[in-house]
Amino acid sequence: MRAMAADNPTPSRAAWQPPRFVPLPENRSALAAVRRLAAARSCALHPLLLHGPPGVGKSHLAGALHERVAAVHLCFRVDAADWTLDELAEARRCELLIVEDLHHLPLHAVDEFAALLDHRQARRLPTLITANRGPAHLPFPARLTNRLAGGLVVGMEMLSRPSRRRFLSRELRRRGRTVDADIVKWVAERTPGSGRQLLAAVHRLEALGPNARLEAAREAFPSVRDRGTPTLDRITRQVSEHFQVKPRQVRGPDRSPQLLWPRQLSMYLARQLTSLSLEQIGQYFERDPSTVRHACQKVEEALSREPELPGVLRQLQSAFE
């Protein structure tokens, strides 16, 4: 949490590139929106919500934007989990407000946060918010989620295979390293699309040296040699990690929205990725077959009305490719 002020002129409106950020199809819309915030003193984006799973670059963009704007304007950045009344005065008067991981906002702060968004919107003050999911799936009342949905909502996805390959190649070039293209391709195909995981893979690739063979990469990356077949345990762990909840909670009796939706997606993916029956899936989740059927229907219905959902499912399924 930081606040900074200065009286210098507004930064140049020339295209700004956040340091060490790799523009790719999965993040270009988010980058364009953040660039608009960096260039404008007042903004019609009320607010800008970037959402996606951990590792897609939300914090990277938020941090780079804060560093750029705070050099010349009053900028306030805070984690939603740390939100208290002490933050409210600063959040109301700053020129740029950045709130990260909104899904961790305490429920007792929902009303004051919704009122804060109204205050900033009336004054055209830019606000950047990050979260792990879109407004419809955040565990908050409509009085807050409707305000979020009324702004600009941009989803950021895990990187596809081609994008992972470009990410690895660019990072290796930036570091002046040469690695055989077949090795880069092999690692990209087997490393999940998280920026953090890909950077860790770059460090391992650097250690291989320019003359390394594919066999050496297989030894250096034992954890990605076999992705494994989809099982109920693996599917539930993957979905739980995406939504930042515990697998035992997804399998448990709690029917709160932050657990019900991951549970329904887990059941849906189990039907798509395995040959298990409704009864077998229901037994795993300690529910009857009709509950599993209902969950699959809810996901099918959501696919037709929620444009972000197909991307989420692709991300989850990519772990088993």
Q: Which of 102, 149, 92 is nearest to 123 (CA)?
A: 92
Express each pLDDT in 160-209 by its tens digit. Answer: 889 999 999 999 998 888 888 888 888 888 787 778 888 888 888 888 87
Across residues 289-309, what is the average pLDDT? 89
Q: Are residues 81 and 186 in the same domain?
A: no
Q: Which of 106, 125, 163, 131 is nearest to 50 (CA)?
A: 131
Say if residues 236 and 263 touch (Cβ distance below 8 Å): no
Q: For residue 102, how far is the Cα from the chain centroid?
A: 12
Q: Are residues 149 and 204 in the same domain?
A: no
234's tokens = 């693996």
Q: Are residues 184 and 250 in the same domain?
A: no
State the total domains in the chain.
3
Q: Are residues 139 and 25 in the same domain?
A: yes
Say if residues 74 and 5 touch (Cβ distance below 8 Å): yes
Q: Are residues 119 and 32 in the same domain?
A: yes
Q: How many angstroms separate the CA atoms of 20 and 263, rounded?
A: 36
In this prediction, residue 17 carries a pLDDT of 85
Q: Which of 57, 1, 55, 7 is nearest to 29 (CA)?
A: 57
Q: How many angstroms separate the CA atoms of 256 and 245, rounded?
A: 12
Long-range contacts of the stretch 134-142 (C-beta < 8 A, 24+): 134/49, 134/51, 134/306, 134/308, 135/49, 136/306, 137/257, 137/261, 138/102, 138/103, 139/103, 139/256, 139/257, 139/258, 140/105, 140/107, 140/110, 141/110
Q: Are residues 217 and 236 in the same domain?
A: no
Q: How many angstroms separate the CA atoms of 44 and 26, rounded?
A: 24
Largest CA distance in the chain: 66
In this prediction, residue 1 carries a pLDDT of 40
Q: Are residues 139 and 37 in the same domain?
A: yes
Q: How many angstroms separate the CA atoms of 250 and 253, rounded?
A: 8
Assign 213 to helix, strand or coil. Answer: coil
In this prediction, residue 101 carries a pLDDT of 94
Q: Range of 172's domain? A: 161-224
Using a pLDDT cut of 70, give the percent of the chain over it: 91
- Whether the pLDDT of residue 144 is over 50: the answer is yes
Q: Are residues 58 and 170 in the same domain?
A: no
Express each pLDDT in 19-37 by its tens digit. Answer: 888 899 999 999 999 998 8
Q: How far are the Cα atoms of 55, 78, 308 from residue 165, in angstroms, in the given order?
A: 16, 33, 23
Tally Cβ neighbours within 10 Å of residue 236: 23
Place of tokens 């739980």: 240
Residue that finishes a domain, picked among 171, 200, 224: 224
Determine the number of helices (DSSP H) and then strands (DSSP E) in the chain. 15, 6
In this prediction, residue 14 carries a pLDDT of 53
280's tokens = 């077998």
Where residue 117 falls among pLDDT bands split at 50, 70, 90? very high
Any idea what DSSP says for residue 10? Answer: P
Q: Are residues 143 and 101 in the same domain?
A: yes
Using a pLDDT cut of 90, give the percent of the chain over it: 48
